[in-house]
Every structure is written in C-alpha cells, then in structure tokens.
Amino acid sequence: MSRIRIDAVLIQAVIAGALSFAHLHDLAAAAGQDGWKAWAYPVSVDLLLVAAWRRMRTTADNRAAWAWFVIALAASLGANVATAGLLDLGDVPAWLRILVAGWPALAFLGGTLLVHSPSAVPEAPETEPVRAAAAPVAPAPDPVPDVTVERAPEPAPELPPAQAAEIAPVPAPAPTQPTAVPPALLDHARKLADSHHATTGNRIDSATLRARLGVPAPLADAITAQLA
C-alpha cells in the first residue's frame, strides 16, 4: 500500500482558504445576501483570483490580469479585515451594501475579459542571415619527379578521322556533388519553415527560404529538399 504523504503547505492552504471563505460568506450575509447567495460570493471571489493568476502565467502583457487579481485580492482581504471586529455586522453601512450587491456584475466583467482576451504571440527575434560555410580547399598535389625515358614508344598508326571519332572514349560527366548544409543552418531553416506553414498554411518554397536566409540559390534548393 502506498502511504499518504501529509503536505504541511497543502494543509495550510486549505485552512487559509476555509477561513477566507467563511469571512466572505459572513460579510455577504451581513450585507443582505442571505441563503445560497451568501455562499456564492466566496466562490466568485476565489474564481476571479484563480483566473487572474492563470492569465498572468500564460501571457506576456499581464497588466489587465494584475488589475483583476488586485481587485479580487482586495475583496477577499477586505472581508477578512472587516469581520475581525472592525465592522459591526449587525449594522453594515450603505456603501458596503452597494459594493456587495454590485460585485457579481464586476466579477462577471473581469472573468469575461480574462477568458476572451487574445493572447499575445511573441514575435520571432530577427536573426542575421547565416552565410554558407566555405568549401574546404584541397591541398596541392605533390610534384611529380622527372622520369627519363631511354626509348620513346612507337607512334600508333594514324586512323581516319571517322574511325578515330568512333574509337575515342567519351569522357563521363562529372557527378554532381550535393551541396553540404551546416546543421545549424538547417535547424534555423526548419524553424522558419514551421513558422511560414503556421502563418500561411503552405509549405515554404525555395525562393522564400532564400530571401529569408540570404543564401545562394543552390544552397536554398538543397535546404528545401531536406525540409521536404
């Protein structure tokens, strides 16, 4: 059997939440919100706190989330302080009754703005075009020593031009070497291709990739072939 681990922080959070919940209920009941409505006020305040906190963690521009977090925290903290003996719950002032009665509309507005506000998409940092790595220079061949030939070979008999053309070997075309693509350049090109596909819905072509990277056309074609 697995043992149940008792977390002191979790216990402390449950106790603090229960006390705050009770204070908000008592204040709402004293302000004229009886029955189930007094129990709904703590839930509304706590949900607005959670929604504002989640919004602050998932968006870069969190000024609006901070504002609604402060409003919900002020409502919770104000109820805790008000029920500590500083306020006569038997004779609640009119301004507090107005605040409690208007809280549902304020909480609904805050929750709607937090949920339906568009999230800011971080812009990709501008990077300088990566230049293609220079091809390695082959070392110069060793000099061939002079060889003295004592007897010259006998010349081959001359053939007519037509027969010489038929017998002459045809040089084979040199194989085309594939363009080497540095791994760092390929990773950067793959990120640009994913961003282009997510924005336009189409795969990036060689011309667009060449313009974005600032590389020669053969290198852009080789990168596009590897991204396919």
pLDDT, one tens digit per residue, over 117-161 is: 665 544 555 555 555 555 556 565 555 555 454 555 565 556 555
Tally of CB atoms within 10 A around 117? 13
Question: Does residue 174 or residue 24 have the better pLDDT?
Answer: 24
Three-class secondary structure of residue 215 per DSSP: coil
Angle at 83 between CA 18 and CA 55, to 5 degrees: 50
133 in a structural domain: no
In terms of residues, how long is the chain? Answer: 228
Distance of alpha carbon 180 from the chain centroid: 30
Structural domain span for residue 13: 8-116
147 in a structural domain: no
Single residue among 116, 141, 158 that ends a domain in this structure:
116
87 in a structural domain: yes
130 in a structural domain: no
pLDDT at 81 over 50: yes
Single residue among 81, 97, 116 that ends a domain in this structure:
116
134 in a structural domain: no
DSSP 3-state helix, strand, coil percentages of the chain (rounded to 5)?
A: 60, 0, 40
Q: How far apart are CA 187 and CA 194, in angstroms?
A: 11
103 in a structural domain: yes
153 in a structural domain: no
123 in a structural domain: no
16 and 111 inside one domain: yes
112 and 185 inside one domain: no
Model confidence, pTM: 0.44
pLDDT, one tens digit per residue, over 179-195 is: 677 777 778 888 888 88
Domain count, the chain: 2
Q: What is the 3-state secondary structure (H, E, C) of 125-168?
A: CCCCCCCCCCCCCCCCCCCCCCCCCCCCCCCCCCCCHHHHHHHC
